[in-house]
Structure 1
């Protein structure tokens, strides 16, 4: 397969890559201004770096979707495109978290860069607290929704839940708690389980997720269930007691996480997509440090059929040395 050059996209955290049947990789992620949803596409992962960026949706001028647009994901369901994302009415902290809720857009065109994106509204999980980082997957004829949400009766900022979907914007049943922050590496800075991503291989369903605050302590954990198990039964899932992917100082990669999965151009190799910073000293609020860059690397597999993510690969491309948000007028060296 082709050599992947990292980063694959500068200053786009929470990266999500979808490889479509048209041969293109479609990329989205959190824009550091948190005011829009963007899509890029390229035939090679490394070409996403300087691919044209299209803004397909912007935040509202007021109301519940007017601030802090986070973590969009692009999915293809029943011949239509959907973007799942989180939005807030403001940047205030309530109950020790922000005010995000989960929303979805729909596009009926063949190319998600074209056509009209229609708002399908808020996805209601059954209670109203901080909620974000939704993903979705189909398995054995059932569409599932997996996301992060706060429960005020559970210590911490966010837990991970799963539910069956009635359609791409409606849940069909009650949320099921899969994991909460409880292990020492999940509660550094903040008590967080967030950013779930799904990979189905070797008779197993794997859900990776991210934990702790978004600096050097940010890392990835993993849940595993058998493909023939009841995925809505918490007892079907086994939680790894150690991180599966974490900061690696020799390569100057810190806080890797909020991942997604894609495949190589020939479809034969699984690839991990994630963000990380290449420095540890952050001035001011980490939320407004834009240099969490999107990265990619090949996944290998252990003899027991579980994924081995290795360590975050070193950068081999230019990255910015300031916290200025890059614009299209800025030149990549």
Structure 2
């Protein structure tokens, strides 16, 4: 999802999730098992420049809402449009700014907007003025029907098993239980972050055990840095699919996939199978590099699943990738294989197409 320095030896690492299970509640999606739609919608890419870790959700009001990490890492923004292409020129509103000191004063990363039980929530990560790498997950709440109105209240930090580097919180509902998935550093391990899952007892707190679903152990997960981060859930075809991002946030950044049966115990790590190869990677032909920190939404036709992610237009980066602002938000159709598994394809090339 993003490039960053971790708690390990001052290394620079990387870091993002939301389900398609309930349109307008966890974000934007479609009923499981519905057809993908025939014609591919046309979207202009990059959709929004210099916006990383993108989240696009389609609400029950028919509008698309968009938030993402800004290059200054100092605020949370939101825009809205009746169409996805319209987000390219939609006016952004600053919903919240980093504190001047203390917690939530640095590295404001990967905001996610969710609508839960009649209220709006934003999950994000932040460091402190004392230690900008003391990244932790936080939650904002707004009880207004319109997220551009009302007051965004700080609900505080999401407390996890360890007080350690953690970020990229996302939430989804499965079989009546709300879950939180996120990335966190296990203090006993010499790596960056693993992906964890826990049940929630409120939109800002977890309950019961947190279980590790994935640790960066495969060769493609450990290039530059050993990273699993940015989980996001898609429920479809009798299965629960969880994407995540891996390796350093340069051209090696890529996406992996975890899969569980719909009737499985999601809190049992044995229920999940990891794809042995990355499912979405850099592509020289289309000149797209470091694709990742994705989410999913649905096209204006109400049928076509869409993959939303960020990528750069070049491979070589001078200096710390954290200081390179050109991770642009992109959108493309998500295809489906005959066995009901997602086919991510390759990152699309830059385009001037306008459709829908």
Give the TM interval when normalised to the shorter protein. over 0.9
Distance in structure 1 (CA, Å) of the matches to 2:47 and 2:348: 12
Distance in structure 2 (CA, Å) of the matches to 1:91 and 1:71: 21
| Higher relative contact order (CA closer than 8 Å, sequence separation 6+) | 2
Structure-2 residue corresponding to 1:323: none
Structure-2 residue corresponding to 1:203: 238
Distance in structure 2 (CA, Å) of the matches to 1:210 and 1:85: 17
Distance in structure 1 (CA, Å) of the matches to 2:113 and 2:191: 28
SS of match in other structure, 2:229: strand
Structure-2 residue corresponding to 1:194: 229
Structure-2 residue corresponding to 1:22: 61
CA displacement at 1:155 relative to structure 2: 2.8
Cα pair 2:241 2:257 within 8 Å, conserved: yes
1:136 to 171, 174, 185: 171
Distance in structure 2 (CA, Å) of the matches to 1:30 and 1:297: 20
Structure-1 residue corresponding to 2:9: none
Matched, 1:70 2:105: no
Cα pair 2:57 2:297 within 8 Å, conserved: yes
* 1:203-282 mapped onto 2 (5 Å cutoff): 203-282=238-317
CA displacement at 1:283 relative to structure 2: 1.7
Distance in structure 2 (CA, Å) of the matches to 1:42 and 1:273: 16
Matched, 1:40 2:79: yes
SS of match in other structure, 2:270: helix
Structure-2 residue corresponding to 1:325: none
CA displacement at 1:2 relative to structure 2: 3.7
SS of match in other structure, 1:173: strand
- Unmatched tracts of structure 1, length 5 or more: 319-333
Cα pair 1:34 1:67 within 8 Å, conserved: yes
1:169 to 204, 209, 216: 204
Cα pair 1:129 1:149 within 8 Å, conserved: yes
Distance in structure 1 (CA, Å) of the matches to 2:52 and 2:131: 21
Structure-1 residue corresponding to 2:338: 303
Distance in structure 1 (CA, Å) of the matches to 2:67 and 2:222: 28
Deviation above 6 Å: which 4+ runs of structure 1? none
Matched, 1:106 2:168: no
String of CA shifts for 1:30-88, please: whole Å, max 9, x gaps.
01000000001111111111110010000000001100100000001111110000000
CA shift in 2, pair 1:91/1:158, >3 Å: farther
CA displacement at 1:289 relative to structure 2: 0.7
SS of match in other structure, 1:250: coil
* 1:75-86 mapped onto 2 (5 Å cutoff): 75-86=114-125
Q: What TM-score comes out, normalization by structure 2 length?
A: 0.86
CA displacement at 1:317 relative to structure 2: 4.5
Matched, 1:291 2:323: no
Structure-1 residue corresponding to 2:15: none
